[in-house]
Amino acid sequence: MVEFSANLGFLWNDLPLPDAIRKAKAAGFTAVELHWPYDTPAAEVKAALDETGLPCLGLNTRRGNVAGGDNGCAAIAGREAEAQGYIDEALAYARDIGAMNVHVMAGFTDQSADAKASFAQNLRYACTQAALTQRTILIEPLNHHDAKGYHIATIAQAQEALADVDLPNLKIMFDCYHLQIMQGDLMTLFKGCQDQIGHVQFAAVPGRGEPDQGEVNYPWLLPELARLGWSAPFGAEYKPRGKMEDGLSWIAAYR
């Protein structure tokens, strides 16, 4: 049976986070994941998770100066102290709510030696700190249409970063939406890096709405990934086309 995690950065994001967790439980999701929950006290999130029995699969480090165009800074040379501060904050929040994964956001930068060195330095720091509480660090390729100039955009670039760091608790966030846009052939991509994947997300391509339309046949793909051995909930990270509850009928295809 395929199970799903509700990404509350997009789903029910008009509600206070504890209420969104309750909505996810009522809708049949078996886990949740977060974007940037830091405005909500961790104790309130933990209480809602305990109440519903839902695990939290992960959260992101802060993006930095969003108004100034930031989308993370871990690969931006000269901002190592800032990046490591965001890592510390995310790991502390993850510890307090019981989330096992932290996605370290790389930022907009080139593929220069300096950028790669800064990314590796910050990821080594993140992995070392995360290992103290048995947590995993994730990095995610983002497509160059939605996030033009993001430091990693392909599986090969993510694998290079993993090789540079060479620590076992660094994994890839395999986002089907981003990777279909950049590379396609999702099944082959998955097979080529399955042992390096820490989480799988999905949304319709190209619209990023509910996964019941577009060019990816998720009712075939996700059960196939499960057949290959992926047993964790798949992260539903889509932008609802309308009212949240009106768009949940896609789940019926997996029941």
237 a catalytic residue: yes
* Catalytic-role residue among 3, 82, 140, 215: 140
- 62 vs 70: CA distance, rounded Å: 10
**Partners of 197 in beta bridges:** 172
Give me the helix-helix angle, 218-227 and 186-193, nearest 10°: 20
CA dihedral for 19, 40, 171, 75, sign (positive or negative): positive
Residue 25 · residue 11 · CB < 8 Å: no
Is there a catalytic annotation at residue 140?
Answer: yes
Q: Which of 58, 246, 204 is nearest to 140 (CA)?
A: 58
Note whether 57 and 94 are within 8 A (CB). no
The active-site residue out of 44, 82, 224, 237 is 237
Dihedral sign for Cα atoms in the order 69, 196, 137, 42: positive
What is the residue type of 247?
G
What Rg do the C-alpha atoms of the chain give, in angstroms? 17
What are 152's two structure tokens? Answer: 């990693």
- Active centre residues (catalytic): 140, 237
